[in-house]
Structure 1
Amino acid sequence: MGLQRRETLTAQLTRTLQERIAAGDYPVGSKLPSEQDLIDEFGVSRTVVREAISSLRAGGVVATQQGVGAFVLNPGNTPFTIQAAELEVVYEVIAVLELRIGVETECAALAAQRRRDDHIVSLRGALDRMITAIGGGEDTVEPDLDFHRGIAEATGNRHFLNLFEYLGTLLIPRARLRAAYRPAEMDSYLNRINAQHEDIFQAIVRQDSDAARAAMRLHLTSSRERLRASIDGKHGG
């Protein structure tokens, strides 16, 4: 069963899975099909599948266990949600980036104060994986997420990590808005992102909270301004 209209593949897959859950095809407590099974059935990329699962997780529909899979939750209201459909609009992605600026700048500062040696090893590994992915023309969303997740872990505050896991790939704007970046610019953009990551990392290594906070703010505000510029370009501003 293939999906149509490439620009909305994530939204379509999310909706299809939601409909199957509502119909009882995937009962409460059951495990969703594996990533590979969904890729084979719907003819989409692994990134699309991961984005759809993250959207379901953000909506409180499923919970994920690393290395195990996604499991259907009991229906009910969640205190805070960001709807996947809203994130098809660039303005909403900017709003999410503003949320990140408010949370992750302090997250980086706390990580600099509290990081352990094993956190440094984990962050360095995520940076190296992103460099490899850029060089090989591979998807960089996962190592990017791993880097930011590692910072949340290094705070020692489980609430930062829980919020990060709740939002999932909604945190990475290019995972939602690839159209905002021309293919010819992508490598340059990704290398710039990783250079900003390196600055954050080095501040955390030095345990320099102020520098870590400033580097994270620069990193996230740069992404926000790039998206704002994409709006101006589309509207002739």
Structure 2
Amino acid sequence: MKLCAAQLSSITGDIEGNIGKHCAFIQRAVEQGAALILFPELSLTHYAPSLAQGLATTPDDPRLDALQHLADVHGIIICAGLPVTGAPLPRIGMVIFQAHQPRGLYCKQRLHADELPWFSPGEGQALIRLGEHGLAPAICYESMLPEHADEAVAAGADFYLVSVAKSANGIAAGQQHYPAMARRHGMPLLMSNSIGPVEGFLTTGQSAAWNRQGDCLGTLPDGQEGLVLLDLESERVELIPGP
């Protein structure tokens, strides 16, 4: 079973354009035999908190039908991010597309202080079932909090899907924290980061995978679009160039 993290640069505020780019990455993942593809935080809009209110939508937005179609045709699970409507403020959402199923939604439960003026927190941990595995999404800031991983494991997770928009400093901290969480829970971890400028800082890629012992299995360099493809059985990683 293969899972992959996409590393890409999105276009700020252009949901339709970003859907087209996501479709190209999904097709590349399908060619590699992936059962799941994970995109960075807010990948469908880029990370732009001040624009979230105007961009927020619902998982059933018909513009997302192209992603659902690929999930249906290829049987691949797609995890893509965008702001979703909520009260009083939008939430940082991850829409989960599975073949011939209603669209799932996970919303970031713990927000960074800088996000509080723009977003409301989500409630509850999602769990994606894939074969015998339970995969728990985590979105950026909350993935750096040990209690989030603890609660995910308590909910039945044995794999951690981390979707981020991180700067060089954030990635450096993650490279210390994520292997510690993998060892703490005996839980492999896959992390997807964007590249290029977002609102307020520069994201620096280095999407990666760690095994349950906390060993880094492979990392994409900054500035390069591509896929981190993890084979769960062999614990081998391939770094695939972007489409």
TM category, shorter: under 0.3
Structure ranking higher in strand proportion: 2
Structure ranking higher in helix proportion: 1
Which is greater in Rg? 1
The TM-score normalised by the length of structure 1 is 0.26
The TM-score normalised by the length of structure 2 is 0.26
